[in-house]
Amino acid sequence: MNAGGLLPDPLADEVREVAGAALTRHAARLEVDGVDVAVRVAPWTLPETGVLGYAPLPHFVDITLTPDNPNFAGGWRTELPATLAHELHHARRWRGPGYGTTLLEALVSEGLAQHYEAGERGGPPPYASISADLDRLWKRAQPLLDSAEYALGYELVRRFLVRQGGNAVIWADAPAEEFRDAWNS
């Protein structure tokens, strides 16, 4: 951790202490061992917290911190352990059924991880709430839960290409945000 020296020493020491305690606590609760946790500094975190986690494998968790994010200093002592809880839950799930390949499987994996995370933070994560009628949204999503990401992605890109021209090779490096309004055309 901090191999690049991007965290100042007092912060690096405290991050190491907070992360180590959370890792020990949650690894025991989740009965996962043999998980490598990398903590790095980069700008690609949640703007609301300055912290981001990713667990792509059953034995690896990546935590990214952005100390110069204005929200980092006031919340990282809560967000780092909560993020570790969330990502370690994913690591545990990878050892069972896996994260999943369908929208339903992803919803279940994220929902379980968020509920576990809620135990660490004392309530749902801030990103778990939206201003929408979730019952109505769920009913509408039912027929889509097995392969919606593929069908929606294909149709979104098809509409974009009709509108903008080109092909998947030409637009391979385009940010997803450029596609956002294609559905409405």
Question: What is the average per-residue pLDDT within 59-86?
Answer: 97
Cα separations (Å) of 67 from 7, 60, 138, 174? Answer: 8, 22, 37, 28
Phi, psi dihedral angles at 62 (to 5 degrees): -115, 125
pLDDT the model gives residue 146: 66
Phi, psi dihedral angles at 51 (to 5 degrees): -135, 145
pLDDT digits (tens, 9 = 90+) for 128-163: 877 777 788 778 877 776 666 556 766 888 888 999
Q: How far apart are the first and last CA of the chain?
A: 47
Name the residue type at position 67: P
Question: What is the average per-residue pLDDT within 13-37?
Answer: 95
CA–CA dist 72, 76 (Å, integer): 5
Tokens of 61: 């968790």
pLDDT the model gives residue 185: 64
pLDDT the model gives residue 13: 95
Tokens of 175: 């940010």
pLDDT > 90 in the chain, percent: 53
CA–CA dist 119, 61 (Å, integer): 19
Buried b / exposed e over 99-120, threshold 16 CB at 10 Å, is beeebbbeebbbeebbebbbeb
Does an H or E element contain 57, and which?
strand 51-57
Residue given tokens 């050892």 in the structure block: 95
Phi, psi dihedral angles at 12 (to 5 degrees): -60, -45
Phi, psi dihedral angles at 65 (to 5 degrees): -120, 145
